[in-house]
A = this chain, B = another copy of it.
Amino acid sequence: MLVEDPGTDHIISWNDQGTAFVVWRPAEFARDLLPTLFKHSNFSSFVRQLNTYGFRKAASGRWEFHNDMFRRGETGLLCEIHRRKAWSSKLSTAPSKTQSPESDEDHGSSSTSSSSSYSNLCDENKKLKRENGVLCMELASTKKRCKELFDLVALYSNSESVEDQRPKLFGVRLELPQEKKRKDEFSDNIRSLLSQSCK
């Protein structure tokens, strides 16, 4: 609205190509125009919001900001400008790079690319799907492995108590005290593990 308004073009306007807006007079802009739209008159707070919504400063030596969805005449694109989410960097800390290379992939991009460009989003999407696939596979194999260990422990724990075949002397099974203690400890461990589900 401000960028379009010819009355404020000496303060803020489109660049020549209509691909970005330029704040020609930051001081006047902050003092006179910001308070009409926001609860403050700080240029830096305005810039902070621009960044949050995917606008980037052009390296043009002036206050020029661009966003792929902000172009002269293309008002239909405006609805694609969204606030970057805050959760993007919160839980994604441990992407389990157990054996996947993905070395060069900039992990911070998840938060950066959010709203700026369509192709960035596509790239991130692809990467997420790849990562997702890797995680699914890794999880599946870990679960399988976990189940194997579990079954093994369960089997042994079971067979030991059921089919103990060790020789007896006159009907009494030969077993020394310290072995008994060790075996009981083992059984306790197994019992506690068995009490949880591992499937």
- With A149-B149, A152-B153 known, 12 other A-B pairs at CB within 8 A are A82-B122, A85-B126, A92-B136, A94-B140, A99-B197, A128-B132, A139-B142, A145-B146, A146-B149, A149-B198, A166-B166, A167-B176
**Residue in chain B with minimal CB distance to A107:** B136
Q: How far is the CA of A37 from the CA of B152 in the complex (A)?
A: 64
Q: Which residues of A contact B (CB under 8 A)?
A: 39-40, 69, 79-80, 82, 85, 87-88, 91-92, 94-96, 98-99, 110, 113, 115, 118-119, 121-122, 124-126, 128-129, 131-133, 135-140, 142-143, 145-146, 148-150, 152-153, 156, 159, 165-167, 174-176, 178-179, 182, 186, 189-190, 193, 196-199
Q: Are B159 and A165 in contact (CB under 8 A)?
A: no
Stoichiometry (number of copies): 2
Q: How far is the CA of A68 from the CA of B158 in the complex (A)?
A: 61
Nearest chain B CB to A35's CB is how many angstroms away? 10
Residues of the B chain whose Cβ atoms lie less than 8 Å from the Cβ of A189? 152
Q: How far is the CA of A198 from the CA of B121 in the complex (A)?
A: 35
**Residue in chain B with minimal CB distance to A136:** B94
> Do A91 and B179 form a contact, CB below 8 Å, given A40-B39, A126-B85, A146-B145?
no
Residues of the B chain whose Cβ atoms lie less than 8 Å from the Cβ of A95? 132, 136
